[in-house]
Structure 1
């Protein structure tokens, strides 16, 4: 219940409300280890919310991204996946099925501290992804 109170507060700071649909989308994302697409979220919440549409899921995911409760992972092919974690962390991505998981590894900021002096570059955000094949796709 505390998680929903935090979510409600984040939404309210952006002028949005915690609806049953937003709560269902957020709860689903909180309970999965991979980072699903909007379509996967839709299929997962539809049994409990039979009147929900894919467009509503997209709108609610965007509202959760805007309030900082969820991260949106985008790629050059216009696909997007959603992550309940909003902190900086690493990912693994399967080149076959496209699923993405959090990688439990300690972040090393040595690279970030080297970039600025070398290029006069100010890092605002970053993402590290390890690409390969998941256990299921290697079979």
Structure 2
């Protein structure tokens, strides 16, 4: 396990504190632990997955606390909620524009690196009066484990 104030893949502990406070949320040890789990994985966990991981460090944390922490991170802009297809929402510690691929069989979600649809996004400005400020792209298919 990392020390409590170790930097993680996402924002630093102080940046997390500032983001939460700016959004009207308190910074707590429980929220820091939830964020550490979320930002330390690229597996796009569900709230239950995060809960299971955080309980190893904080045995008395409740599932409700994990849900509230994840939603606070989403509203503060330090995480994204992925409501993909059917099944429970998944959470992503990456907040930059990036693409995902989801297995239609097991629900596994993975980042896709290197695919950047910026050209057609710029073309949207000519095709629509919308001011596009971001995007989400999800591809669907079957992971190697589910193909066998």
TM-score w.r.t. the length of structure 1 is 0.89
Q: Distance in 1 between matches of 2:79 and 2:53?
A: 17
Contact 2:42-2:92 at 8 Å conserved across structures: no
CA contact (8 A) 1:36 1:99 kept: no
Query: 1:41 matched to which residue of 2?
Result: 50
| Residue-pair matches, total | 139
The answer for the alignment partner of 2:117 in structure 1 is 108
Q: Tell me the residue number matched to 2:3.
A: none
Residue in 1 that maps onto 2:83? 74
Any residues of structure 2 matched to 1:1-139 within 5 Å, and which?
1-2=6-7, 3-75=12-84, 77=86, 79-139=88-148
Question: 1:29–1:83: 8 Å Cα contact kept in structure 2?
Answer: yes
Are the equivalent residues in 2 in contact too, given 1:90–1:105 (CA < 8 A)? Answer: no
- Spell out, residue by residue over 1:24-83, the C-alpha distance to the aligned partner (whole angstroms, 9 max, x if none): 111111221210111111111112211111111110100111111111111354731100
The Cα RMSD (Å) is 1.7
1:132 and 1:83 mapped to 2: Cα distance?
20
Alignment gaps of 5+ in structure 2: 1-5
Identify which range, 8-17 or 51-60, moves more after superposition.
Answer: 8-17
Q: 1:131, 1:93 → 2: CA distance?
A: 5
Residue 126 of structure 1, CA deviation: 1.5
* Aligned counterparts of 2:103 and 2:85: Cα–Cα separation in 1: 15
Cα gap change, 1:31/1:126 in structure 2, threshold over 3 Å: closer, same or farther? Answer: same
Residues of 1 paired with 2:87 and 2:45: CA distance? 14
Shift of 1:15: 2.5
